[in-house]
Amino acid sequence: MNITDAVSYMCDLAKKEAQQFDVIASTSHSEGLSVFQGQVQNTEISDSVGLGVRVIKDGHPGYAYTERLTKEAVAQTLKDALCHTQWTESIDIQLPKPVEMPDEYPNYNPALESLNLQQMKDFCIDLEKETFAKSKEIENIPYLGADMTSGSSVIANSEGVFYKGKSNSASAGAGAVAVRDGIKKLGNFVKSGRDWKQFSIDEIATKTADYATELFGAKKIEGGKIPVVFSERVSARIVGMYCSAFEAEAMQKGQSRLAGMEGQMVAGEKFSIVNDPQGELFQHKYRCDSEGCVAKRVEVVKNGVFNEALYNLETAAKAGRETTGNGARDFGSKMGTSFNNLLVPAGELTTAGLLKLFPKCLLVVRLEGGSGCNAISGELSMGAHGFWCENGVIQHPVDGVTLSGNFFDIMKNVVDVGSEYRDPFGTYMVPALAVSELSVSV
């Protein structure tokens, strides 16, 4: 069976066994290759398919999934989910009724389906040549490749919801090793999108070469608590590592320091966070979440004030609230919560303008590691590379420093936000962040 038929069959069976249920199914196809020294190093073609069901019987939820879409496998999956309800805590939720959805698929470009391995091979071989040509200091390009992924999905429930989705995307990138005076540096850049015509060999090669060579001549700086500007190249990663703190589920489990802080200042007044599922800046759009609930725009943090957490149906019921449409689940997992496009609204200053806010500061353009970062406590400790700046002017590169602090303090110390975003295809859009102080050790 295809996923549409499998979901319909599951719905027919579940109607006889459970008071409420919802089903999520998806398929994924990907193909890609890597190139090394003018030759294809390896190719990969993969397919996956699966169906998961959540049943609610006598108020208790049960989950199960299968990757075999036969009638026997679907029927057994339902039995497993019903059995699971014996061991779970009761919940009091009402699954959503269907609403009218547009017929088009905003995350799918039919033209991209014509992209094939031969085109990707030719692109990558030319990309390798062009990247070498960008700098005589590049001695090796160990990472270079391209891929294309497409998928489809179905969300259905006992109330009559039956939403279909399609998506696809492509990516291409390179990682180059440059050498100067016996010192080696690695730089990489990856481009993603849905229009292969917009993929520029020159853009990827130029940025790869620039990133590989930009930190040569690094000098040490004096450690201590100093102003730091997180470039738009790394700011989304910083915010993304701690975004679970804004989810109601984490707060209800005692895993967020923001629990009970709605209405309070938790960040600098120029710092905001928005859940923006249909935002114009985003190329990926969310109409509904994994529970079939309409995805809503939520001003999570507004001008420094923690305004509202993100909820799914279960966490909203516990809090006596309405869901914000942020339920997150794939066919093989339980229901969770996630942002549907995270936006930090831009400020008025460019990244270069943020550097002028401080007499001296560190501009961070790369981060390393993350094992010293904890979303529950907010602790942050990770390696960083960047540039030392004085009076808004870059003086020299800096590498081998460690940033230490707490994310919740960093939010409070954000004095301004940049106006530039790095990745137009990302689901986390965060401009540069100017932080008044952060511990930097060398």
pLDDT tens digit string along 270-314?
Answer: 999 999 999 999 999 999 999 999 999 999 999 999 999 999 999
From CA 288, how far away is CA 355, in angstroms rounded? 40
In this predicted structure, the answer to whether residue 133 has a pLDDT above a threshold of 90 is yes
Q: Encoding tokens for residue 318?
A: 């516990």
Global model pTM greater than 0.85 = yes
pLDDT tens digit string along 314-346?
Answer: 999 999 999 999 999 999 999 999 999 999 999
CA 415 centroid distance within chain: 25
From CA 438, how far away is CA 119, in angstroms rounded? 46
pLDDT for residue 342: 98
In this predicted structure, the answer to whether residue 9 has a pLDDT above a threshold of 90 is yes
Q: How confident is the model at residue 400 (pLDDT cuts 50, 70, 90)?
A: confident
From CA 239, how far away is CA 195, in angstroms rounded? 28
- Domains identified in the chain and CATH numbers: 3-213 (3.30.2290.10), 217-442 (no CATH)
In this predicted structure, the answer to whether residue 377 has a pLDDT above a threshold of 90 is yes
pLDDT for residue 369: 85
Which residue would you say has higher pLDDT here, 400 or 401? 401
pLDDT tens digit string along 62-95?
Answer: 999 999 999 999 999 999 999 999 999 999 999 9
pLDDT for residue 103: 83
Query: H/E element holding 315?
Result: helix 313-319
pLDDT tens digit string along 151-207?
Answer: 999 999 999 999 999 999 999 999 999 999 999 999 999 999 999 999 999 999 999
% of the chain residues with pLDDT over 90:
97
Strand, helix or coil for residue 137: coil
pLDDT for residue 102: 86
From CA 31, how far away is CA 338, in angstroms rounded? 27
In this predicted structure, the answer to whether residue 372 has a pLDDT above a threshold of 90 is no
What is the sign, positive or negative, of the torsion defined by CA atoms of 264, 270, 275, 278?
positive
Is 168 in contact with 109 (CB distance < 8 Å)? yes
Angle of helix 117-134 versus helix 201-213 axis, rounded to 10: 40
